[in-house]
Amino acid sequence: MKEMKMKIVIVGCGRVGSTLAQNLDEDGHDVIIFDIKTAAFDRLPETFKGAAIRGDGTDEEVLRRAGAKNADIFLSLTEGDNRNIMAAQVATENLGIPRVIAKINDPVRAAAYAELGVVTVCRTNLMVDAVATYLDLTVQTGPGIDTPQTPGHKHPHPSTALSAIRSAVTPAEATPLVEPETSGAAGNEPPTTSTADRAKVRRLGFRRWQS
């Protein structure tokens, strides 16, 4: 049975974003992909039938003008953790997109954001797990896909983290959607403003996958 056609928005036309866009497009889905660099769209094949839009995927107005509001799925796949989570927040809270995933490279932050209500995919965890499986090693690692699950009480609304996230992003960080592979340590700081908050986030993250 042929699967239902969906509208899928992808922010970030890197290797992962472009590969997903190509495959989803070939499967007959309506794909809209964003990147701030026109050259990034060179990764897409000439047969790509979707919309490739040069623009900031964290900007609500840009997303609305491109028709993202009625999307079924939103994937934020840039190289910047802060940008991915901000785009996911906009998609979830402002555009009401039902299925949103943010790529978060830092395992601690991936777990913490999942606790705050955002589905995250962590490339670091996926790679560690793949290497360990190949070498037949037993290692502790977090989930590749971390879904919100807070046993015993209602899950906190994602907006509780948004102001902290925005305060952690400098103007220079907030502009580009694609960061170099060798981003510095400052780009991986937890999205909190005090030592106590950072410690809380780390405990929250490690508790989920090291217990």
How confident is the prediction for the chain on average, in pLDDT? 78
Q: In the chain, what are the domain boundaries?
A: 7-210
Mean pLDDT (whole number) for 113-123: 91
Quickly count: other Cβ atoms within 10 Å of residue 107's Cβ: 23
What is the SS3 assignment for 158?
helix
Please choose, from the candidates 58, 55, 108, 63, the residue with its C-alpha nearest in 3D space to the C-alpha of residue 80: 58
Q: Go through the chain and tell me how many residues it has.
A: 211
Which of these, 87, 89, 81, lies nearest to 117 by C-alpha position? 89
How far apart are alpha carbons 103 and 82 in whole angstroms?
A: 10
More confident residue, 131 or 190: 131
Q: Say yes or no to pLDDT of 119 above 70.
A: yes
Global pTM reads: 0.72
Local structure of 100: helix, strand or coil = strand
When mean pLDDT is compared across 142-146, 182-186, 201-205, the lowest value belongs to: 182-186
Give the pLDDT of residue 28: 95
Residues paired with 73 in a beta bridge: 8, 99
Q: Summarize the confidence of residues 125-138 as an average pLDDT.
A: 91
Whether residue 1 has pLDDT greater than 80: no
pLDDT confidence tier of residue 46, bands split at 50, 70 and 90 = very high
User: For residue 5, is pLDDT > 80?
Assistant: yes
Q: What pLDDT is attached to residue 2?
A: 60
* CATH code of the domain made up of 7-210: 3.40.50.720
Cα distance between the two ends of the chain:
41
pLDDT at 149 over 80: no
